[in-house]
Amino acid sequence: MSKVNVNNLNRTFKNGIKSLEVLKNIQFYLRENEFVSIIGPSGCGKSTIFRILSGIDKDYSGEVLINNTDITKHPQKVAYLQQRDMFMPWRTVIENIILPLEITGEVSIRELRIIRKHIKANKNYFEAKSVSEPLNSVFRLINDFGLNGFEDYMPYELSGGMRQRAALLRSFIINSDIMLLDEPFAALDAITKTKMQDWLLKIWNTHKKSVLFITHDIDEAIYMSDRIYVLSERPATIKDVINISFRRPRNRDMLMTQEFNEYKGRLFEVLLGRC
């Protein structure tokens, strides 16, 4: 079953008499439980695709189906992670994370603050008092995302990797099995990035989500994805589609194989136009 289906997508930015063609005839799909990457040069319009899918940008032409529904008629909820981590600096980490639930009205920030206060005073608060189910599920996920003990920090106090995990958790909580991740690891150092990639694959595997993943890191795209769409310079068109046939779960040894290098060579060729 296809989760996302994009056909003949065009987007042109108009500013007075100037117009800038960003997306041209984009076509791709994402099936259930798939991990699909979109790779392309900086500024080619990758993020614009996500802005359209998430319903922020409505000024496009073409057909965009999410869960087989046209999003111009019925906007669909997707778990979108923007390129910047977009924390509210006035909220603690946990208060930032529960934002999606607060918007739907499942959790109130007042309730959360009272519970945090009790937890600070008494570590066994969980067992003693019943916490509402949505909030309880968030507390459980905090463990999976390795944010235990950092709930009441302010966002600027966290390290880069931790911020990214917290931001990812916030998107994760949005009630949707489609995740749009826009270069989530671009700002991280190589070591943290490697750890985060494996961690994300683990999370993706246990929680069964369908992921669209924007990156400009070739190794990352091959290592993570089932399929890679390669975009051209602006106006972005789909230059190539590469199916990655590595078995899952993936491991780092695959990066050393002949097959991996063949994929890499092909991607370089398509992206740079020479080899």
Partner 1 sequence: MRKLENIETTNFKRESKHNKENKQRVNVLSKIHHAVYRMIPLLVFVFLILLWEFIVVVLEIKDYIAPRPTQIISEFKNSGSLLLEHTLITVYETLLGLCIAIIFAIVLSLICSKYKLAKRVLYPLAVVSQNVPLMAIAPLFIMWFGFGILSKILVVVLVGFFPVLLNTVKGLESYDLELVDMMRYMQASDLQIFMKVKIPAALPSFFSGLKIASAYSIMGAVVSEWVGAKNGLGIFLTRSMKYYNMPGMFADIIVIVVLSLMIFRVIEFVESKVIRWNINRS
Could you list the residues that contact partner 1 (CB under 8 A)?
Answer: 51, 54-56, 75, 77-78, 80, 82, 84, 86, 88-91, 99-100, 102-104, 154-156, 174
CB closer to partner 1, 99 vs 255? 99
Quote the least distance from Cβ 176 to partner 1, whole Å.
Answer: 10
Q: How far apart are CA 217 and CA 226, in angstroms?
A: 15
Please check whether residue 1 is in contact with residue 32, taking contact to mean a CB–CB distance below 8 angstroms: yes
Q: At residue 33, what are phi and psi to the nearest 5 degrees?
A: 60, 20
Quote the least distance from Cβ 21 to partner 1, whole Å.
Answer: 22
Quote the least distance from Cβ 85 to partner 1, whole Å.
Answer: 10
Q: How far apart are CA 125 and CA 90, in angstroms?
A: 26
Give the β-pairing of 79-81 and 178-182. parallel
Exposure pattern of 133-170 as b/e (b: 16+ CB <10 Å)? Answer: eebeebbebbebbebeebbeeebeebeebbbbbbbbbb
Q: Which pair of structure tokens corresponds to residue 177? A: 């099995």
Exposure pattern of 91-114 as b/e (b: 16+ CB <10 Å)? Answer: ebbbbbbbbbbeeeebbeeeebee
CB closer to partner 1, 26 vs 78? 78
Phi-psi region of 8 (alpha: psi -120 to 50; beta: other; left: phi over 0): left
Quote the least distance from Cβ 203 to partner 1, whole Å.
Answer: 20
Quote the least distance from Cβ 258 to partner 1, whole Å.
Answer: 42
Nearest to 20 by CA among 45, 39, 56, 41: 45
Q: What DSSP element (H or E) covers 274?
A: none
Quote the least distance from Cβ 50 to partner 1, whole Å.
Answer: 9
Quote the least distance from Cβ 54 to partner 1, whole Å.
Answer: 4
Q: How far apart are CA 271 and CA 273, in angstroms?
A: 6
CB closer to partner 1, 81 vs 244? 81
Exposure pattern of 185-209 as b/e (b: 16+ CB <10 Å)? Answer: beebeeebbbebbebbbebbeeeeb
